[in-house]
A = this chain, B = another copy of it.
Amino acid sequence: MPVTIKDIAKAAGVSHTTVSRALRGNPAISNTTTARIERLAQDMGYVPSAVAQSLHAQQTLTIGMVVTTIADPFIVKVVEGVESVAQAAGYSVFLSTSNNDPDRELAVVETFRRRRVDAIIVTSSRVGRLHSSQLNQVQVPIVLINNQGEGKYLYSVAIDDEQGAGLAVTHLLGLRHRRIAYIGVPDRPKSNQRRLAGFLAALERAGIAPDPGLTCSPEAGDDFQRGQAAFEAIEAARASAVFAYNDVIAIGLMAACAQHGVAVPGRLSVVGFDDIEAAVYVNPGLTTVHQPRLKLGQLAMTMTLDLLNGRKTQDQKLACELRDRASTAKISDLPPSLIVNKP
């Protein structure tokens, strides 16, 4: 049982009220007793109970963060951004994973409600389900990362997927590529759709008609395997360049290329999305669209603090930047047929 102000009060021969005031630096208490009490508190190893304080103050100075899985290198950085800003502002953060399971996500939110968190931050959820049921019952601000939602307490900060995809395609167009493929994913429909839209829009601006054969969305297991699985479709489509939904997919594709003797970027240029750590580890280094993930997390928490302090806020969108590394090159002047065939 930790030391309480009552214990200190007894030891000091005063009321617990006096102790409370002294420790909070209330000027009404005489300097001498204040000093004495402070010393006593120190000696007795007193640490105030945030639980009791929370009950009294009707706020816990905690926020709940829901992530699908922390294993995603993208999410990790976001969490780090959130946590650092939170910590600096005196907030603690509960981290919970949902594994992309809507039921668990609801359970997690329910737990956060029980714990009386002051706000909730959610990354990459399928808010559809969440929204419908009890999200509107939640009486605290909810900040969505990379996801929109509509509701009284719903706010969002997001990456500009379309702009990012445009960056990738523009880069490839600048390298004279014309047959550019897109590898999408089936399980993040919203962002996938936005990246696809950005991809198509950029092509259209360049006067290139969309070719359905140039977009695919492999079903295989994890993202890396999806990238590998996409290899055949890319070959069949005779693409000279590929824009992948994310880096892991791009890296999986590059692995398949290496296996089949297709040189990157000699025969095929590859652009990813995210700029995860591994993008600089692989060979060749992966050209990719950098997401300001840390900043995204920081912004989400900053916005949360604004909300908590009654300041005005509005939804934010963050721009991406291109990281030009070694997996892209100017298209060779050989005819496409020669370029895409095996050696």
Contacts and interface: CB of A to CB of B under 8 A. Distances in A.
Given A116-B50, A280-B224, A281-B278, A92 B71 contact: no
Interface of A: 1-2, 45, 47-52, 54-55, 58, 60, 62, 69-71, 73, 76-77, 79-80, 83-84, 87, 92-97, 108, 110-111, 113-116, 137, 139, 224, 248, 251-252, 254-255, 258, 277-278, 280-283
Nearest to A110: B47
A161 to B, nearest CB: 23
Of A77, A108, A113, A258, the most chain B CB neighbours within 10 A belong to: A113
A251 B283 CA distance: 10
A50 B114 contact: yes
Contacts of A111: 92
Contacts of A248: 281
6 nearest A-B residue pairs (beta carbon): A278-B278, A95-B95, A50-B114, A50-B115, A47-B113, A251-B281
Contact of A70 (B52, B80, B110, B255): B80
Contact of A281 (B51, B84, B110, B282): B282
A94 B61 CA distance: 12
Contact of A80 (B54, B71, B255, B281): B71
B92 A94 contact: yes
A48 B51 CA distance: 15
Specify how many copies of this chain sit in the oligomer: 2
A57 to B, nearest CB: 10
Given A87-B96, A95-B83, A96-B83, A114 B278 contact: no
A141 to B, nearest CB: 15
Contact of A139 (B2, B92, B114): B2
A137 to B, nearest CB: 5
A272 to B, nearest CB: 11
Of A47, A69, A76, A96, the most chain B CB neighbours within 10 A belong to: A47
Contact of A258 (B55, B73, B283): B283
A47 B112 CA distance: 10
A282 B139 CA distance: 47
A94 B70 CA distance: 14
Contacts of A116: 2, 49-51
Given A71-B77, A281-B255, A83 B97 contact: yes
Given A52-B55, A281-B255, A282-B281, A97 B80 contact: yes
A295 to B, nearest CB: 14
30 contacts: A2-B116, A47-B114, A48-B114, A49-B114, A50-B115, A51-B54, A51-B55, A51-B116, A70-B70, A70-B76, A71-B80, A79-B95, A80-B97, A83-B95, A83-B96, A83-B97, A84-B97, A87-B96, A92-B94, A92-B111, A93-B95, A93-B96, A94-B95, A95-B95, A224-B280, A251-B281, A252-B281, A277-B278, A278-B282, A281-B281
Of A79, A251, A278, the most chain B CB neighbours within 10 A belong to: A278
A58 B4 CA distance: 13
Nearest to A55: B51
